[in-house]
């Protein structure tokens, strides 16, 4: 029997995360992700995904120091970043530069140190390229800042507010890992051939780039921009639903109740960002859309997904839409690399079969 897209096929066992689509829960290594966003940093959750347990204070200090030590890019990588054509999109840039990084190290079986190095340098790659495109001087990473705070600092050249850092940190923790999604599966397939960590991450970036996977948050921005103000909301949404268009940022293949990541992002936005015209509009659009979706699509249980409030968060922290998917990549790399480690520790090569429907002579 063929399962198009392997839908419903259980391809492997994992101890990394669990998605409960009926109850709307996402668990990382036994911990509810919402609680992790409330008590833990990006670094602590990355440690949890890679090592399987949360770090002690001593372990965290050592881990943070090592992670920070990899923030600076080599002149070799900077030369490559400078020589790529301006019109090359950021995801293709990341795929190329990560691949180039692999010519220097990473020849052994995947290790946690390799995962840390690549995760640490990815925000610097994004910020370096962004400054180069904007024609603004590169802002070197700072060693006294946390991973997410330093990313925002490098992008904007000024220290972010605590609220801005918390908002992005929540987003990056919530999107670090999500089971056997397409890019994670790509990473595991490459790792299953006993190829190196860089090749597996490069496969994942190429998969993440596709609009059906990593590209949705900017579509939500287009929707909010098209609506523009609360007074237009019902009219625009009704027109789209009458035209049988999908409302971007609503519905999910796995979650048939509230997406827990959307719930967590919304409460962070309300707490951290406070007064913000985009947030007010997003809240109004959510309420109106959920009512209208029930009217036009009764019984389908359509609620906001993670992309809806991700877009509002990005807008509130002044992140350019061209950086949405790369920022998603800078968080999901933790999940990819955790899966690459897991795959390489207990490996069976992925080799499904296909049914021939072509001509037989
Ligand atoms: N707007 C309007 N109607 C919708 C929406 C939506 N956003 N989502 C689902 N529906 C309707 C469908 O038209 C369908 O109606 P029907 O029964 O009359 O044919 C019904 O609800 C079921 O929808 P499916 O498309 O079968 O649901 P599926 O689980 O296959 O799709 C998906 C999930 C792709 C996310 C869909 O809800 C969608 O396209 N949403 C908008 C795009 C989006 O926000 N993508 C980001 C997802 S989150 C992520 O990828 C990280």
Dihedral over alpha carbons 113, 115, 120, 122 (to 10 degrees): 150
Dihedral over alpha carbons 97, 93, 318, 65 (to 10 degrees): -10
How many angstroms separate the alpha carbon of residue 216 from the centre of ligand 1?
Answer: 12
The residues annotated with a catalytic role in the active site are 252, 307
**Within a 10 A sphere around the Cβ of 71, how many other Cβ atoms?**
21
Query: What burial letters (b/e) apply to 82-104, b meaning 16+ CB within 10 Å?
Result: eeeeeeeebbebbbbbbbbbbee
pLDDT at 274: 67
Closest CA to 240 of 231, 227, 254, 228: 227
**Within a 10 A sphere around the Cβ of 310, how many other Cβ atoms?**
26
The token pair that represents 279 in the structure block? 């947030």
Q: CA 138: distance to chain centroid?
A: 24
The token pair that represents 8 in the structure block? 């419903």
Give me the half-sphere count of Cα atoms (radius 13 Å) on the Cβ side of residue 89.
13
Apex 144 CA angle, 139 and 147, nearest 5: 75
H/E stretch holding 263 reads helix 260-268
C-beta 183 within 6 A of ligand 1: no
The token pair that represents 135 in the structure block? 């024609």
How many angstroms separate the alpha carbon of residue 219 from the centre of ligand 1?
Answer: 14
Which ligand 1 atom minimizes the distance to the CA of 253?
A: 29
Q: Give the strands of the sheet with 17-20, arranged side by side.
A: 17-20, 25-28, 31-32
DSSP SS3 for 20: strand
- pTM for this one? 0.91
**Within a 10 A sphere around the Cβ of 75, how many other Cβ atoms?**
7
**Within a 10 A sphere around the Cβ of 55, how many other Cβ atoms?**
18
Domains of the chain: 15-348 (1.10.580.10)
Ligand 1 pocket test: which of 222, 246, 289 has the largest number of ligand atoms within 8 Å of its C-beta?
A: 246
pLDDT at 198: 97
Q: What is the mean pLDDT of each run of 10 residues along the chain (361 residues)?
A: 89 96 94 96 98 98 97 96 96 97 84 97 98 96 98 97 92 96 97 97 96 75 91 97 93 86 88 76 94 95 89 84 93 98 96 94 85
Q: d(Cα 91, Cα 84) in Å, to the nearest integer?
A: 12
How many angstroms separate the alpha carbon of residue 262 from the centre of ligand 1?
Answer: 15
C-beta 23 within 6 A of ligand 1: no
For the chain, give the number of residues.
Answer: 361
Nearest CA to ligand 1 atom 20: 300
Nearest CA to ligand 1 atom 39: 246
pLDDT at 316: 79
Apex 209 CA angle, 220 and 34, nearest 5: 60
Nearest CA to ligand 1 atom 15: 297
The token pair that represents 327 in the structure block? 């920022």
């Amino acid at each position: 029997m063929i399962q198009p897209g392997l839908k419903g096929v259980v391809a492997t066992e994992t101890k990394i995360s669990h998605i409960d689509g009926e109850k709307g829960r996402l668990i990382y290594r036994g911990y509810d992700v919402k609680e992790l966003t409330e008590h833990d940093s990006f670094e602590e959750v990355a440690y949890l995904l890679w090592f399987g347990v949360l770090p002690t204070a001593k372990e965290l200090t050592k881990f943070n120091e090592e992670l920070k030590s990899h923030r600076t890019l080599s002149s070799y990588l900077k030369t490559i970043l400078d020589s790529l054509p301006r019109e090359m999109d950021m995801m293709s840039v990341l795929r190329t530069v990560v691949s180039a990084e692999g010519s220097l190290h990473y020849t052994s079986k995947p290790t946690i140190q390799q995962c840390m190095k690549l995760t640490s340098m990815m925000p610097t790659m994004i910020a370096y390229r962004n400054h180069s495109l904007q024609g603004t001087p590169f802002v070197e990473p700072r060693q006294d800042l946390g991973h997410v705070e330093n990313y925002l600092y490098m992008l904007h050249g000024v220290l972010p507010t605590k609220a801005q850092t918390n908002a992005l940190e929540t987003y990056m923790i919530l999107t670090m890992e999500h089971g056997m999604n397409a890019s994670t599966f790509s990473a595991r397939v490459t790792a299953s051939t006993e190829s190196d960590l860089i090749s597996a991450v490069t496969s994942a970036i190429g998969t993440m780039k596709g609009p059906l996977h990593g590209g949705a948050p900017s579509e939500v921005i287009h929707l909010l921009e098209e609506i523009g103000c609360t007074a237009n909301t019902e009219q625009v949404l009704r027109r789209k639903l009458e035209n049988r268009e999908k409302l971007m940022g609503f519905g999910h293949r796995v979650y048939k109740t509230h997406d827990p990541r959307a719930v967590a992002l919304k409460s962070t936005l309300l707490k951290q960002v406070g007064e913000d015209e985009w947030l007010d509009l997003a809240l109004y659009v959510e309420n109106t859309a959920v009512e209208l979706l029930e009217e036009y699509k009764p019984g389908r249980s359509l609620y906001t997904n993670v992309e809806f409030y991700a877009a509002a968060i990005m807008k509130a922290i002044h992140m350019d839409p061209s950086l949405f998917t790369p920022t998603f990549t800078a968080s999901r790399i933790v999940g990819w690399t955790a899966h690459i480690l897991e795959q390489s520790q207990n490996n069976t090569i992925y080799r499904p079969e296909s049914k021939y429907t072509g001509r037989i002579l």
